Amino acid sequence: MSSDNIFSALAKYNSARDENYLTEAFVFLMNSLLIRERAIGLEILTQLCVSNNEFSFDEDEAISISTQETTEQGTPDIKVFSPDKLIYIEVKHDSPPGYKQIERYKKALESSPVTIKHVNLLTRFAVDFSEAEEQPYKHVRWFEIYNWLANTMGRVKDPVSVYLIDSFNSFLEVKQMSLQKVSWEYISGVPALNNLIN
């Protein structure tokens, strides 16, 4: 664990609430990007929240991202809110969604006057929705977050944002929640490693 990685360094104080810490760290990063690198922040937010270009976030749109929104139907991990959008995102580290969790959060959205109301799911592992009564509007995996952030690094100019993105992705690597591109070195190296073991 790198000592200059702020997210990994602070994680040791939050081991009992692993999923909550992961959520808080990600929301902190997203809010920072929306302030310091607005276009990059909107790009990641769009990839996280929007399916098939059905809607978009505008450059001048007032967007707030917060955690642990209390509703009568439970407590979604992330709330993305703007004047015409309300999106709940349930975050899972190793566990599957709780009993009728997606359904309950959709019900919690019913009373909101905004136009766009969705429940999304962010997980480490794939989820089988074949038997679920309610499915999320969009299901995202943590390795996708890792890749989206990594793909922005050549375009990010703000040094604080570069540091935060790099630190968060390093944190995901430590947690084995990244899926890095397999290059020729790995392809050639695996048979060589097998030969060495034999």
| Local mean pLDDT, 10-residue blocks, the chain (198 residues) | 64 63 94 97 98 95 94 93 97 80 94 96 87 86 96 96 95 81 55 66
Please give the structure tokens belonging to residue 170: 């390093």
What does the pLDDT read at residue 194? 67
pTM of the entire structure? 0.83
Cβ pair 114, 86 in contact under 8 A: yes
What does the pLDDT read at residue 34? 98
What does the pLDDT read at residue 16? 42
CA atoms of 136 and 138, how far apart (whole Å): 5
Q: Is 163 exposed, middle or buried (0-12, 13-18, 19+ CB in 10 A)?
A: middle
What does the pLDDT read at residue 43? 98
Q: Beta partners for 122? A: 91, 140
What does the pLDDT read at residue 116? 97
Alpha helices in the chain (DSSP H): 6-11, 18-36, 38-49, 101-109, 142-152, 159-174, 184-197
What does the pLDDT read at residue 42? 98
